[in-house]
Amino acid sequence: MKKVLLVDDNQLVGKLASTYLGKHGFDVEVCQGPFGVLNRVRSFGPDVILLDINMPGLSGVRLAELLKDARVLHGFKVILFSSEDANMQAGMVKEGLAQNYFIKGGSLDGLCEVIKETACASV
Distance, in Å, from the CA atom of 86 to the CA atom of 105, rounded to the nearest integer, reads 12
Range 3-20 average pLDDT: 94
CATH no. for residue 62?
Answer: 3.40.50.2300
Angstrom CA distances, 104 to 1, 77, 83, stand at 23, 18, 5
Domain holding 79, by residue range, is 3-120
pLDDT bucket at 123, cuts 50 / 70 / 90: low
Which pLDDT tens digit goes with each residue over 24-78?
999 999 999 889 999 999 999 999 999 999 898 888 888 998 888 887 777 899 9
Which pLDDT tens digit goes with each residue over 94-121?
999 999 999 998 888 999 999 999 998 8
User: Given this model, what pLDDT does residue 108 score?
Assistant: 87
Angle at 104 between CA 103 and CA 110, to 5 degrees: 70
* Domain count for the chain: 1
